[in-house]
């Protein structure tokens, strides 16, 4: 597997989101702007990643199954949205822990997308 700049940027964003949300859980805080913005950063990264994949697809085609790659991209785009809805509807400190799961989940999905892309 080739770990390119997209992967490392995604890893950094996901790790930062994980740390922020776990700290907010430990501090016994309700979901606030900082934890919500951390998963918004993950979502923004995924939007840019998807757009970059469209552009990059012409110069360097996907080595694996194209439907599988885009299935991961679409699913990854849904995960932060579901966590956000959970945090808004369930305003307890445990919502931060649910949002903390976004970072590792997206990291694993990014790794799988890299494996699919580079074969």
Domain boundaries, the chain: 5-118
Q: Cα–Cα distance between 119 and 98 in angstroms, integer?
A: 32
Per-residue pLDDT at 2 exceeds 70: no
Per-residue pLDDT at 1 exceeds 70: no
What confidence tier does 118 reach under pLDDT thresholds 50, 70, 90? confident
Would you call 93 helix, strand, or coil by DSSP?
Answer: coil
Q: Cα–Cα distance between 49 and 7 in angstroms, integer?
A: 9
Q: What is the CA radius of gyration of the chain?
A: 15
Q: Tell the CATH topology of 5-118.
A: 1.20.120
pLDDT of residue 32: 84
- pLDDT top residue among 110 and 32: 110
Question: What is the C-alpha end-to-end distance of the chain, expressed in Å?
Answer: 7
Please choose, from the candidates 2, 24, 14, the residue with its C-alpha nearest in 3D space to the C-alpha of residue 101: 14
Q: Is the pTM of this model over 0.95?
A: no
Q: Residue 87, class by beta-carbon neighbours within 10 Å (0-12 exposed, 13-18 middle, 19+ buried)? A: buried
């Amino acid at each position: 597997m080739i770990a390119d700049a997209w992967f490392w940027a995604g890893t950094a964003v996901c790790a930062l989101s994980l740390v922020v949300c776990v700290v907010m859980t430990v501090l016994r805080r309700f979901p606030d702007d900082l934890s919500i913005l951390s998963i918004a950063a993950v979502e923004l990264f995924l939007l840019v990643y998807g757009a970059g994949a469209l552009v990059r697809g012409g110069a360097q085609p996907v080595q694996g199954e194209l439907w599988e790659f885009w299935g991961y991209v679409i699913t990854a785009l849904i995960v932060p949205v579901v966590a956000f809805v959970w945090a808004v509807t369930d305003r307890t400190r445990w919502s931060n822990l649910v949002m903390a799961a976004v970072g590792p989940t997206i990291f694993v999905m990014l790794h799988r997308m890299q494996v699919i892309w580079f074969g």
